[in-house]
Amino acid sequence: MIDLSVDFGFIKLKNPVLAASGTFGYGIEFSPFIDLNKLGGFVVKGLYYSPRPGNPPQRLVETPSGLINAIGLQGIGVKKFAEDILPQLRKYQTAIIVNVCGETEEEYAKVVDFLNKEDGISLYEINISCPNVKEGGCCPAQNPESTYSVVHLVKEVSARPVITKLSPNVTDIVEIALSAQEAGSDAVSLVNTFLAMAIDVEERRPKLANILGGLSGPAIKPLALRMVYQVVKHLNIPVIGIGGIMTGQDALEFLIAGAKAVQVGTANFVDPEATVKIIQDIQRHCQFNNITKIEDIIGTLNE
């Protein structure tokens, strides 16, 4: 029997595979396709305090090996989430992570303060890195001071451990990750999407109504892996790897680089069973290589 569990210190996950925010709805949408109990956990769509319509269409563009999105953080707001969604999620034996958004630092704190009262949430992931919101607080993760400030404030009010989700749209990701750690973040997750655009040549117009969007999918995997590798070397809190993970091999690359867990995003659009297949792939790899504990693989890169 292979032990796939990973211990973050403040939470133990049954395996290192999580579904990424914004690609997995509020989790329940995937329950007809997979047994959610099989996942290490899932991160729900980003939540602001109030409902938001997001950006106008067109909001998605397919590219070679990737997807550009400019959804603009459409969401139902915390009250509806607590009333309608959370009661349905409580029956699952897996980590439920809420992706927290805010147009201001105070809004992040307000969302967390509201959700503290609700049972059934394991962790918060603060999304300080969305590239698709034109107005308002986008994006604290591009600056070490604003990263420190928002993480510090959220940590002050939070009754639960906090993961800070970082942006790849920076010169020095290590500097930002250190800032999050210094402010008390319990873990970091990286990366969110890369700022991108696509043009319709016939119309000579941007394909996205928002003009710019965020690139995800296999195209970003080597870039994300490089950033995870760099951040792991400098931090002493757990790092969650995200970016273009489609297969167990992809996930294993991030684990070997030192990520304690991974999140799977765009792959869920290609195959709603992707997360479960990735867990099976990892299990097969361990079996084949006589590895009894997945934690024995983490951070074992031979340099």
Ligand X SMILES: Cc1cc2nc3c(=O)[nH]c(=O)nc-3n(C[C@H](O)[C@H](O)[C@H](O)COP(=O)(O)O)c2cc1C
Interacting residues toward ligand X by CB under 6 A: 20-23, 45-46, 67, 69, 71, 73, 99, 127, 130, 165, 192-193, 216-217, 220, 242-245, 264-266
3-state secondary structure (DSSP) of residue 193: coil
Q: How many CA atoms lie within 13 A of 272 on its CB side?
A: 12
State which residue, 11 or 47, has the beta carbon closest to ligand X. 47
State which residue, 2 or 277, has the beta carbon closest to ligand X. 277
CB of 8 to ligand X, least distance (A): 18
CB of 23 to ligand X, least distance (A): 5
In angstroms, rounded to a whole number, what is the distance separating the alpha carbons of residues 273 and 33? Answer: 6
Q: Which residues of 217-251 are buried (b: 16+ CB within 10 A; e: fewer)?
A: bbbbbeebbebbbbbbeebebbbbbbbbbbbbebb
Q: Provide the strand spans (E) within 116-248.
A: 123-127, 162-165, 187-190, 194-196, 199-200, 205-206, 213-216, 239-242
3-state secondary structure (DSSP) of residue 164: strand
CB 5 within 8 A of CB 13: yes
State which residue, 7 or 99, has the beta carbon closest to ligand X. 99
Tokens 């400098």 belong to 234
State which residue, 51 or 291, has the beta carbon closest to ligand X. 51
State which residue, 40 or 292, has the beta carbon closest to ligand X. 40
Q: Which of 101, 130, 138, 286 is catalytic?
A: 130
CB of 46 to ligand X, least distance (A): 3
CB 112 within 8 A of CB 155: no
CB of 73 to ligand X, least distance (A): 5
Rg (CA), the chain: 18
Annotated active-site residue 139? The verdict is no
Which residues are catalytically annotated? Answer: 130
